[in-house]
Amino acid sequence: QLQLVESGGGLVQPGGSLRLSCAASGFTSRSHAIAWFRQAPGKEREGVSYISSTGISTNYADSVKGRFTISRDNAESTVYLQMSSLKPEDTAVYYCAAGPNIGSDYLRFMESAYNYWGQGTQVTVSS
């Protein structure tokens, strides 16, 4: 069974850091691109970051550039999202999704491009 499992969420103070993990099982994740999305209460889900299957190509939403870093360890079938300088507006449920490599930057945050989704992990930034 194909499965993505997110972990690493929690409660953190503004300015703090968290590292999210997306562990893949049941398929060869190294052949898939992985994207992180998030959904805040009352808002639509939005793309946060993308990494190609090789890890060579990455993308970030403007709101997280310079603060978040995506990486992957294909030997461990895991993708990470290192989040620093967190703000209250980063509060959301974070999801990882797997799909084919996408050449167009514009399409990399289209939800319909991804075949597999995790259940999500809650990130709360609050003092």
Distance of alpha carbon 37 from alpha carbon 69, whole angstroms? 14
Instruction: Quote the pLDDT of residue 106.
Output: 83
Distance of alpha carbon 119 from alpha carbon 123, whole angstroms? 13
Tokens encoding 43 = 């808002």
Distance of alpha carbon 64 from alpha carbon 117, whole angstroms? 21
Q: What would the pLDDT profile of 71-99 be if each residue is shown by its tens digit? A: 999 888 999 999 999 999 999 999 999 99
Q: What would the pLDDT profile of 1-55 be if each residue is shown by its tens digit? A: 679 999 999 999 999 999 999 999 876 667 899 999 999 999 999 999 999 999 9
Would you say 118 and 24 are in contact if contact means Cβ atoms under 8 Å apart? no
Instruction: Quote the pLDDT of residue 82.
Output: 98
Would you say 53 and 85 are in contact if contact means Cβ atoms under 8 Å apart? no
Distance of alpha carbon 93 from alpha carbon 74, whole angstroms? 24
